[in-house]
C-alpha cells in the first residue's frame, strides 16, 4: 500500500510543479460554468418552468455538473502519451500493477480536482445565492451515490481503451478527440439530455456517455422513476463490462507490439 500512497504524493507534487497550468484550467472551468449559469438564468427570466424543469432544478444541475465532471472525468493522466513516448517500459519493470498504478494516479488527480471544485462551488453559491434543489429522499441519494461510483469505473476503462490505441498509432489523439467532442454533448454537460427531441434522447441513452454526468444528476433531481433508474444502472454495468473486456484485450494485444519507442 505504501507504494501507492507514494504515487498519490508524486501526483500532487506534479500539480505543484505546474501550478500555473492547474490554476488556468480551474479558471477555464469557472468561466464556462458562469457562462452557462447566466445563460440559463436569462432563459428562465419571466418563466417558472422551461423544458419541464423548474429554475432551482436547472441551476442545481448546472452548478453540480463541474463537480461531477471533476469526480468522473477530471484527470490529466495520458496513458497514450506514456505508451507513445516509451515511458510504459519504466512501469513494466517496476514491482507493481500497471493498472493499479494508473488507477491510483487517476484517483489522486480527481481528489485534487474535486477538492478545488467544492471550494469554487461554495464560493459561487455564497456570491450568487441561487435557489437550489436539495434532495432529501434517501433512496434517490443512495442510487445517486451508486451511479457516481459506477460512472467513475466506467470512465476509467473507457479512458484506458482510448489510450491503448497508442500501441498501434502515434495519431491516437484523433479518435480520442472525436470521442471527447461526442462525450461533451451526450454526457449532458451543458444541458439536461431529456430536453432533446425524444428520438435523440432515447438514442443517447444506449451510448455510455449520459452515464458520466446526466444520469447521476437526473437521479439526484428525482426526474425519473425507479424502473428508468434501474434500467440506467443496468446499462452502465453493461458498458463497464464492455470497456473492461476491451481495455484488457487491447492491453494484451498492444504489449505484443510495444517496443519502448522513444527509449
Residue 45 DSSP class: T
Question: Residue 218 sits in which domain range?
Answer: 2-257
Task: Identify the residue with better confidence: 95 or 204.
Answer: 204
- Taking CB atoms within 8 Å and a gap of at least 24, the contacts of 247-256 are 247/157, 247/160, 247/161, 247/164, 250/161, 250/164, 250/165, 250/167, 251/160, 251/164, 253/167, 254/83, 254/164, 254/167, 254/168, 255/167
Let me know if residue 241 belongs to a domain. yes
Cell numbers for 1: 500500500
Mean pLDDT of the chain: 84
Q: How many domains does the chain have?
A: 1
The answer to whether residue 220 scores a pLDDT higher than 70 is yes
Q: DSSP 3-state assignment of 54?
A: strand
Residue bearing cell 516509451: 86
The pLDDT, as a whole number, for residue 260 is 58
The answer to whether residue 14 scores a pLDDT higher than 80 is no
Contacts of residue 105, Cβ cutoff 8 Å, sequence gap at least 6: 7, 8, 11, 77
Let me know if residue 253 belongs to a domain. yes
38-58 pLDDT per residue, tens: 888 888 887 788 888 888 899
Task: Identify the residue with better confidence: 175 or 142.
Answer: 142
The pLDDT, as a whole number, for residue 77 is 65
Let me know if residue 207 belongs to a domain. yes
Of 125-134, 152-161, 173-182, minimum mean pLDDT range: 173-182
What would the mean pLDDT of 198-203 be, rounded to a whole number? 93
Q: What distance in Å separates the CA atoms of residue 191 and residue 188, rounded to the nearest whole number?
A: 5
Of 32-36, 124-128, 169-173, 189-193, minimum mean pLDDT range: 169-173
Let me know if residue 262 belongs to a domain. no
55-110 pLDDT per residue, tens: 889 999 998 998 898 888 876 666 777 777 767 777 677 777 777 778 888 888 88
How many C-beta atoms surround the C-beta of residue 7 within 10 A? Answer: 19
Q: What's phi and psi for 237, nearest 5 deg?
A: -65, -40
Let me know if residue 231 belongs to a domain. yes
The answer to whether residue 159 scores a pLDDT higher than 60 is yes
The pLDDT, as a whole number, for residue 146 is 96
The answer to whether residue 171 scores a pLDDT higher than 80 is no
Tell me the pTM: 0.86
How many C-beta atoms surround the C-beta of residue 83 within 10 A? Answer: 25
Let me know if residue 117 belongs to a domain. yes
The pLDDT, as a whole number, for residue 61 is 93
Let me know if residue 263 belongs to a domain. no
Cell numbers for 106: 487517476
Three-state secondary structure readout of 175-235: HHHHHHHHHHHHCCCCCCHHHCCHHHHHHHHCCCHHHHCHHHHHHHCCCCCHHHHHHHHHH
Let me know if residue 203 belongs to a domain. yes
Amino acid at each position: 500500500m505504501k507504494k501507492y500512497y507514494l504515487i498519490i504524493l508524486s501526483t500532487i507534487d506534479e500539480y505543484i510543479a505546474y501550478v500555473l497550468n492547474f490554476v488556468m484550467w480551474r479558471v477555464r472551468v469557472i468561466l464556462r460554468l458562469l457562462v452557462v449559469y447566466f445563460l440559463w438564468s436569462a432563459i428562465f427570466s419571466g418563466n417558472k418552468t422551461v423544458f419541464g424543469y423548474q429554475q432551482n432544478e436547472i441551476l442545481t444541475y448546472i452548478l453540480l455538473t463541474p463537480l461531477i465532471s471533476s469526480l468522473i472525468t477530471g484527470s490529466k493522466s495520458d496513458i497514450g502519451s506514456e505508451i507513445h513516448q516509451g515511458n510504459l517500459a519504466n512501469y513494466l519493470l517496476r514491482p507493481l500493477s500497471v493498472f493499479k498504478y494508473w488507477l491510483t494516479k487517476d484517483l489522486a488527480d480527481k481528489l485534487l480536482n474535486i477538492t478545488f471544485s467544492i471550494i469554487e462551488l461554495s464560493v459561487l453559491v455564497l456570491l450568487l445565492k441561487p435557489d437550489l434543489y436539495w434532495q432529501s429522499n434517501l433512496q434517490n441519494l443512495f442510487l445517486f451515490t451508486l451511479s457516481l461510483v459506477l460512472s467513475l469505473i466506467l470512465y476509467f476503462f473507457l479512458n484506458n481503451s482510448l489510450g491503448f490505441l497508442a500501441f498501434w498509432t502515434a495519431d491516437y489523439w484523433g479518435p480520442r478527440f472525436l470521442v471527447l467532442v461526442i462525450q461533451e454533448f451526450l454526457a449532458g454537460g451543458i444541458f439536461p439530455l431529456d430536453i432533446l427531441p425524444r428520438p435523440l434522447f432515447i438514442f443517447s441513452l444506449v451510448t455510455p456517455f449520459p452515464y458520466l454526468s446526466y444520469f447521476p444528476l437526473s437521479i439526484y433531481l428525482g426526474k425519473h422513476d425507479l424502473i428508468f433508474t434501474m434500467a440506467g444502472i443496468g446499462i452502465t454495468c453493461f458498458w463497464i463490462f464492455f470497456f473492461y473486456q476491451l481495455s484488457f484485450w487491447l492491453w494484451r494485444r498492444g504489449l505484443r507490439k510495444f517496443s519502448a519507442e522513444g527509449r
